[in-house]
Amino acid sequence: MYCYKCGVKLEDSENKCPLCHTTLPKEKNSNALSAYSDKIDDIGKHINFRYITLLILLFLFISGFVTFLCNIFINGKPTWSIYVIASIIYVATQASFLYYKNKLISAILNLFGLEYLLFTIAYMNNGMNWYLYLVMPNIFIIWLLVVLTVYLFIKKKMRFTRAVSTFLFTIALILICTEVLIDLFSNSVVNLKWSLYASLPILIVCLVVFVISFNRKLINEIKKRIFL
């Protein structure tokens, strides 16, 4: 088939002239494949989280610096702006989850950010005793348990039921650890009370879910009965 305007021969795959865009009558029996695949390579709209994070942090740090300067001008020494700066550093460590692909780095940064924020508050209010013996270890233990659980979730690719039981177990552990630390801080003697009331039912549910997770048939039966 020839384009009557351009005089060029069109390959069977063409149904209009690519040069002058004249539509030509399709020849009979032409089942020719198009010259290129119909698929389109489109990378879509990727959001550049790293860039956005850096931009947000830049604005936060600039505003933090301005706050600091205002504080110096008004009071002559840094007082309330220290809280603002500590909070900004904490937000920055939170934002690192968007920035780093390796989430462990962000998790460690996050721990330091939180500890630092609370340290600042304790230091400014003469509460170092409270901070060192209660808050710091407690936050560290909770952080460790949460990180370990998330690590297990990701690495072991658990079934839903087993993930639920692990989650419940972590909560029970956190409750017990918290009471132990509070007891040690206030009386130096461990006397578990409220955490047991809270964690025992949780542990029982956790155990039941854990046992059920081995029984596929039972899970299917439950699913069948209670599906929404």
Partner 1 sequence: MESKKWMRLDNAALIYPPAVKKKYAMMFRLTITFKDKIDKDILAEALKNTLVRLPSFAYRLRRGLFWYYLEKIDGIPPILDDVKNPMRTINFKDNNYFMFRVRVYEKRLALEFFHALTDGTGGVTLLLTLSREYIRLKYGVETPYTEKILNLKDKPKKEEYEDSFKKHVGDFGSVEKEEAAYHLKGKQLPSHMLNIITGKIKINELKKLCQQYDCTITVFLTSIMFMCFQDIQNNNHDKKNKPIKISIPVNLRRFFDSVTLRNFSSYVNPKIDTKLGNYTLEEVIKEVKGQLEYMVNEKKLRSKFTGNVNMERKFYIRIMPTFIKMKALSISDYLMGDRYYTTTFSNYGLINIPLEMQKYVTDMGFMIGRSRNKHGAVACISCMNNLYITFTSRIYETEFERLFFTKLVSLGIKVSVESNQGGM
Give the binding range for partner 1 (CB under 8 A) out of 28-36, 49-57, 117-125, 218-226: 28-36
Minimal distance, residue 152 CB to partner 1, in Å: 27
**Of 33-41, 57-65, 163-171, 181-189, which segment contacts partner 1 by CB under 8 A?**
33-41
Least separation in angstroms between residue 222's CB and partner 1 is 41
CA distances from 220 to 108, 164, 223, 224 (A): 40, 17, 5, 6
Closest CB to partner 1 among residues 18, 201: 18
Q: With binding defined as CB under 8 A, does residue 25 bind partner 1?
A: no
Nearest to 195 by CA among 213, 209, 183: 183
Q: Whole-angstrom Cα distance, residue 177 to residue 183? A: 10
Residue 163, CA atoms < 13 Å, CB-side half-sphere? 11
Instruction: Give the nearer residue to partner 1 in terms of CB position, either 21 or 28.
Output: 21
> Two tokens at 178?
């918290």
Residue 49 makes CB contacts below 8 A (sequence gap 6+) with 98, 99
Among 4, 30, 34, 207, binds partner 1 (CB under 8 A): 34
- 190 in contact with partner 1 (CB under 8 A): no
Binding to partner 1 (CB under 8 A): which residues in 3-22? 6-11, 13-21
Q: Which is nearer to partner 1, 37 or 187 (CB)?
A: 37
Query: Using the 8-state DSSP alphabet, how is residue 8 labeled?
Result: P
Residue 7: CB partners within 8 Å, gap ≥ 6?
Answer: none
Alpha-carbon span 109 to 95, nearest angstrom: 10
Minimal distance in Å, beta carbon 192 to partner 1?
50
What are the start-end ranges of the H helices in 49-135? 49-75, 81-99, 103-124, 128-130
Of 34 and 129, CB closest to partner 1: 34
Choice from 25, 31, 42, 102 touching partner 1 (CB under 8 A)? 42
Among 23, 28, 29, 33, binds partner 1 (CB under 8 A): 33
The contact set with partner 1 (CB under 8 A) reads: 6-11, 13-21, 33-43, 46
